[in-house]
Structures are given as C-alpha cells and as structure tokens.
Chain A
Amino acid sequence: DTGVSQDPRHKITKRGQNVTFRCDPISEHNRLYWYRQTLGQGPEFLTYFQNEAQLEKSRLLSDRFSAERPKGSFSTLEIQRTEQGDSAMYLCASSLAPGGSYEQYFGPGTRLTVT
C-alpha cells in the first residue's frame, strides 16, 4: 500500500501529558498537510510543509503544538500539555505541487482522546 499512513491510529492520554503523532506521505509527494477534525465537523487546516519547510500555520496551531518534517519525508505533530479540547481526529494529507494537480490525499487519521 503506497497511500498516506499515520501512527498511531488511536491515542488515549491524560490531561497534561505530551503526545506525538507521525505521518508518512505518499513517497513522491513533496507537500504534507495537517488537519484537525472534531466530531460532526469538517477538517480544519493546521499547517503544511513543502519539503522540509513549514510554509503556513493556522491560528488554530497554538504554541503547545509543533510540527516538523526534518528530512522532507515523514512528519511529526507534537502536542504538549494536552487539554481536553485537544480531543479530535488528527489527519495528515499529502500532494504533489507545483506541477501536480494539488489534490490532497488523506491518511486514516489519529484519534486522540484526552481524559
């Protein structure tokens, strides 16, 4: 399977703990995106990378959130001092741009529950 993969699929953590999620994009895709989706809503953009450069960050991405893509391949999203409001599905997507169609392909997501 050469689609976008995310790990873990589910994470339960206690309030105040740090968590880290990983995303592996489609291998030839140079852009990688993070979105957050709460129950009953559409996904909301958090940030994106082109290769290893983080080019845009949403206001939703508070200073407790940090994302990296050190070698322009996989990416990690870390949430420090988790709060109950962080409970959501965290989705990763990748695309080929410029020169590609900009279509974003999503992974299966990481479901975070903060107790």
Chain B
Amino acid sequence: TQLLEQSPQFLSIQEGENLTVYCNSSSVFSSLQWYRQEPGEGPVLLVTVVTGGEVKKLKRLTFQFGDARKDSSLHITAAQPGDTGLYLCAGSFNNAGNMLTFGGGTRLMVKP
C-alpha cells in the first residue's frame, strides 16, 4: 500500500509570510499533482510534476519534485488571505494514469 504523508497538517500564518508544505512517500511516483480545495468544493489542479528535480512556478507558488521522485514541496511566497484552503498532494505510482493516491492535506489559513 502506497502512502502519502503531508506536513504540516495545519498552518496558520499572517499575510506576507512565507511557508512550505511537504509531501513524502516511501514509493517512487510516476507523477505527482498538487491541488487546492475550498470548503464544499472539489479539488482544483495547480500543477503536475513528472521529472525528478523538476521545479515549477505558478505566480507566488513554487513546486519542487525530489530527485528520487519520492517527495515534493510547495513553497508560497508572501502568502495572501486568498491562499487559504486545503492543499493536497496526489501521486500516481504507475504509468497507467489510473488511480491517484492522496495525502491527508495541509489546511492553510492566512490571516490579514
């Protein structure tokens, strides 16, 4: 059974601070996605990483995929209240692109 561990589970910060969220597994991902989910809504895809060592940027969000493709991080610079939400990492452990295994999520609150 492949497991994804996300840390921290909860994060409450002030507007303007930086933060990093981590996603780890003992198994190798073929690809990994990061999603953001707001209460009562479905997850919204932020980014997909595939290549070990890959770094992708989406405005103030920086996503990094570990060299061994077992871990990933999401860094937010100068967080804003609009960044508040549940951040989920989800991995695919084969190349068939079928099921995603999700981490438990990091619930982020950014206070103005």
Contact = CB atoms under 8 A, between A and B. Distances in A.
B103 to A, nearest CB: 5
B41 A104 contact: no
A6 B45 CA distance: 17
Interface residues of B, number: 25
A93 B44 CA distance: 11
A53 interface: no
B101 A45 contact: yes
Interface string A87-109: 00001010101100111111111
A105 B102 CA distance: 14
Interface string B15-50: 000000000000000010101000011111100100
Interface stretch (A13-21, A36-44, A62-70, A74-82): A36-44
Of A31, A35, A43, chain B has the most CB atoms within 10 Å of the CB of A43
Contact of A42 (B41, B96, B105): B105
A42 B98 contact: no
A109 B40 CA distance: 8
A11 interface: no
A85 to B, nearest CB: 19
B99 A108 contact: no
Contacts of A109: 40-42
Interface of B: 4, 6, 31, 33, 35, 40-45, 48, 88, 90, 92, 96-105
Interface of A: 4, 6, 31, 33, 35, 40-45, 48, 55-56, 58, 91, 93, 95, 97-98, 101-109, 111
